[in-house]
Amino acid sequence: MGKVVIQVEELSKVYRLGTIGTGYLLHDLQRWWTTTVRKQEDPFFQLPGTQASPEPGQALWALQNINFEVKQGEVWGIIGNNGAGKSTLLKIISRIIRPSMGRIRGKGKVNSLLEVGTGFHPELSGRENIYLSGYILGMSKAEIRAKFDEIAAFSGVEKFLDTPVKRYSSGMYVRLAFAVAAHLEPDILIVDEVLAVGDAEFQKKCLGKMRDVAQSEGRTILFVSHSMQAINNLCDKGLWLHQGKVKATGSAASVVNDYLTSAQRVQLKQSWTDPEHAPGNENVRLQSVELVPHLLTPDSPLDVRTPLTVKFQFWNLLAGETSLSMGLHLYTYGGELVFDRPTSDRLCRPGLIQAECTIPGNFLNDGSYYISFVITRNTSVDLFRYEECLSFDVADYRGDYNYYGKWVGVVRPNFPFELKPAEAGIGHYQSLSS
């Protein structure tokens, strides 16, 4: 690995909450009067670290004291939750916004691709848009002309180059837009979450193109994505931002793993020692609910492969023998019921009752889920319902499967499904063609 091409030093970006720039001429004049003329503190805002830090709630630290160095030819994946500051960081490196403190120094030409189709105009033809968006991204006329055919071929919409892009399907639009961007030749390329659009084949093509650019041509890439799969496949280095601060840097694989393990917003266990204060009623009271993931190693994330066991314990307070059953409801975070699994009826005496259910691995899709349950008497009378007693996140894992878009569906069962030549079909085809 070569020389350092981007050096980020003590970079911070702070936003004043409310009306940034105050919005009123009168306020700004007042600020100017107090700060510049009378040399006093800004009545509306003070930079932290000077004298008085802004009170919490007045300022938003989009980025706080970020330091890192990128060497030539490295591909960095930047990850973090929404609002972690990823886009702000890319915008500062792209010269779109200014930092509040610190500095960035770099070498070579920087191009950024923060949005697919920047500068595209729906009324203009594909051809016009290739030129216009090329110019906006910093290409010269000669450069675009030289690569025009290549761009058109990459996009796969050659036939429609003279049609206004407003008549394109959204897939064609994205393809054309990305094709222009893919033919940029900067020393440093900055890419923000653009793989979320487009179909599988095209995504593969784009990632392939980016990988070529990075490996064979020695370009440096900074890449933001929510697809851990793409980060793992494409990047050597990872940068994890959390609430504006660097939480971890290092090899992409280890940063991704740390991120997935911690990012899971989970309520894996609830238990109550005192039946008086446990959720329930005069019929039943909860003792504990617990979700046990069967992880490969203790620090690996809970992903689509992980089998999960849900354990319940409750006190049956009903006198005599009662016919009880329980229903386990698994919901997606969006509130869609994935399944309802009831137990069979069982005659129970007063005391602690337990139940256990195992959801196999390779069954749930990635995403957030929660569990509710209901305890029933004689199959039909609801004794107690408890909504959202457990919640968990399932991380993505795709192995060798090269698709990086959101895998749709509520579940992702691993049923046997593959292609092979049908013995009868070969003869049939031969007879057709001969």
Partner 1 sequence: MPIPQEDRWDWEIRPQTGWWGTSLTDLWTYRHLAVGLVRRDFLLIYQQTILGPLWVLLQPLLTLITYVVVFGKVVGISTGDTPPVLFYLAGIVLWNLFNDTFTSISSTFRDNAQLFSKVYFPRLIIPLARLSGYLFHFGIQFGLLVLMLAYYFLFQSLPVPNGQWLLLVPVAILLVSTISLSLGLLFSVLTAKYRDMTYLVGMGVRLLMFLTPVIYPVSYVAEKWRWMVQLNPLTPLFELFRRALLGHGVVSLLTLGYSFAFTMVLLLVALLIFNKQGDKLIDIL
Point out which residues bind partner 1 (CB under 8 A). 3-4, 7, 15, 20-21, 23-25, 28, 91-108, 110, 112, 114-115, 118-119, 121, 123-124, 128, 131-132, 135-138, 140-141
Q: How far is CA 168 from CA 50, 129, 136, 386, in A?
A: 54, 12, 21, 49
- Residue-wise DSSP of 227-256: -HHHHHHH-SEEEEEETTEEEEEEEHHHHH
CB of 106 to partner 1, least distance (A): 6
Residues pairing with 385 in the sheet: 374
**Least separation, in Å, of the C-beta of 59 and partner 1?**
13
Cβ closer to partner 1: 93 or 284?
93
Q: Which two tokens stand for residue 336?
A: 């869609």
For the CB of residue 282, give the shortest distance to partner 1 in the complex, in Å: 59
Instruction: At 184, list the tokens.
Output: 């940029």
Closest approach of partner 1 to the CB of residue 137, in Å: 7
Alpha helices in 159-244 (DSSP H): 170-182, 200-217, 228-234
User: Which of 143, 366 has the CB closer to partner 1?
Assistant: 143
List the structure tokens of 46: 């003070």
Report, in Å, the least distance between residue 147 CB and partner 1.
14
Q: Which is nearer to partner 1, 24 or 401 (CB)?
A: 24
Token couple for 103:
């500095």
**Smaller CB separation from partner 1, 123 or 299:** 123
Which lies closer to partner 1 via its Cβ, residue 92 or residue 310? 92
Taking the least distance from each CB to partner 1, the nearer of 118 and 332 is 118
The nearest distance, CB 180 to partner 1, in angstroms, is: 12
Q: Which is nearer to partner 1, 106 or 275 (CB)?
A: 106
Cβ distance 65 to 245 under 8 Å?
yes
Diameter of the chain measured on Cα atoms: 95
β-strands 188-192, 284-293: how paired? unpaired
Residue 131: CB minimum distance to partner 1, A: 6
Sign of CA dihedral 329, 330, 335, 336: negative
Residue 24's H or E segment, with its range, is none
